[in-house]
């Protein structure tokens, strides 16, 4: 189904810990993240064996506003904007196996003006995953993803996990775009309550001290998510919880830097987390 979602997330203010593990005196930060996503099927076909073949367009945009107090821009950026466009296809290979392939491109920048965005901030991506349907609830798979994050095309392994058990009690786990897990209870057709755990983040490509670098804002949140389903098209999930981990760091765009842990220690302390979302399915 075609669907549109709009979401706002808020991270409460908390102390900043530098690369050496020292808590910076008077250094604090909070964050507000605005995101939107549109999924549009352009072709859906059902075989006589009830196997689905589909093509879809996925458009996503995120803006992270980091409100930093007494923290230099050399340590933590104030703005990150990510815009992505992807073409995705799902093809059944047989009753148990299917192929998911995607091709896309996006802008990953800290600039707030489009005129200042250059080619260094544009990344391409593509990949293919082979997924096995273990049972009606669980799908597992793997494959390869191609990206030029390091400045040149490179292949990385890709993992697919999707578990979805619907009913009075609901359990979901997904590892495809970040990590999402939820366990909950459906009181009726209108109201549900879930305990959730999610990992997500944003990325900005820029130049620093004459070098091409990438800035990562990554976070892990957990909390309670009541959801109100107004009708079969519109739902309103609201999340109240805590930010269990919010890391911020620069890496050079090199393979060596990608696997080094020397630049991944900067982070913010625990803080309150809140999010509100509206989902519309056509």
Determine the Cα–Cα distance for residues 120 and 253; give it in Å rounded to an integer: 11
Count Cα neighbours of 47 within 13 Å in the Cβ-side half-sphere: 10
DSSP 3-state of 65: strand
Q: How confident is the model at residue 257 (pLDDT cuts 50, 70, 90)?
A: confident
Q: Are 63 and 36 in contact (CB under 8 A)?
A: no
Region 8-29: mean pLDDT is: 92
Q: Which position has the higher pLDDT, 96 or 254? A: 96
Tokens standing for residue 151? 């400045």
pTM check: above 0.75: yes
- Tell me the domain boundaries of the chain: 3-17+25-281
Task: Judge whether residue 255 has pLDDT over 80.
Answer: no
Q: Give residue-wise pLDDT tens across range 190-199.
A: 999 999 999 9
Q: What percent of the chain has pLDDT over 90?
A: 74
- DSSP for 11-59? EEEEEEE-TTSPEEEEEEEEEEEEEEEEEEEEEEEE-TTS-EEEEEEEE
Q: Which position has the higher pLDDT, 175 or 197? A: 197
Region 126-133: mean pLDDT is: 95
Nearest of 10, 132, 12, 28 to residue 71 by alpha carbon: 28
Task: Judge whether residue 233 has pLDDT over 70.
Answer: yes
Task: Judge whether residue 254 has pLDDT over 90.
Answer: no
Task: Judge whether residue 218 has pLDDT over 60.
Answer: yes
Q: How confident is the model at residue 14 (pLDDT cuts 50, 70, 90)?
A: very high
Nearest of 278, 269, 213, 214 to residue 246 by alpha carbon: 269
Region 67-75: mean pLDDT is: 93
Mean pLDDT score of the chain: 92
Determine the Cα–Cα distance for residues 264 and 198; give it in Å rounded to an integer: 19
Determine the Cα–Cα distance for residues 197 and 239; give it in Å rounded to an integer: 11
Region 83-96: mean pLDDT is: 94
Q: How confident is the model at residue 178 (pLDDT cuts 50, 70, 90)?
A: confident
Any idea which of 2-11, 123-132, 250-259 has the lowest mean pLDDT?
250-259
Q: Determine the Cα angle at 159 with ends 157 and 164, to 5°.
A: 175
């Amino acid at each position: 189904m075609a669907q549109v979602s709009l979401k706002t997330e808020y991270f409460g203010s908390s102390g900043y810990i530098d690369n050496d593990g020292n808590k910076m005196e008077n250094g604090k930060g909070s964050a507000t993240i605005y995101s939107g996503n549109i999924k549009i099927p352009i072709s859906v076909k059902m075989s006589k064996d009830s196997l689905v073949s589909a093509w879809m367009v996925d458009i996503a945009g995120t803006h992270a506003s980091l409100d930093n107090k007494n923290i230099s821009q050399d340590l933590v950026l104030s703005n990150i904007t990510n815009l992505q466009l992807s073409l995705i296809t799902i093809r059944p290979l047989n009753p148990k196996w299917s192929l998911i392939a995607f091709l896309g491109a996006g802008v990953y920048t800290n600039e707030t003006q489009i005129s200042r965005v250059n080619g260094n901030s544009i990344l391409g991506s593509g990949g293919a995953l082979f997924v096995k349907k273990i049972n009606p609830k669980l799908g597992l798979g793997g494959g390869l993803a191609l990206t030029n994050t390091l400045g040149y095309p490179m292949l990385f392994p890709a993992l697919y996990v999707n578990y979805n058990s619907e009913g009075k009690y609901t359990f979901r786990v997904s590892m495809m775009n970040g990590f999402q897990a939820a366990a909950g209870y459906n009181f009726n057709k209108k109201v549900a309550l879930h305990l959730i755990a999610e990992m997500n983040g944003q990325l900005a490509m820029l130049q620093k001290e004459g070098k091409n670098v990438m800035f990562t804002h990554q976070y892990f949140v957990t909390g309670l998510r009541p959801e109100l389903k107004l009708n079969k098209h519109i739902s309103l999930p609201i999340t109240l919880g805590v930010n269990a981990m919010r890391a911020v760091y620069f890496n050079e765009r090199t393979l060596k830097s990608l696997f080094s842990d020397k630049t991944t220690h900067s982070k913010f302390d625990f803080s309150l987390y809140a999010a509100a979302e509206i989902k519309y399915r056509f």
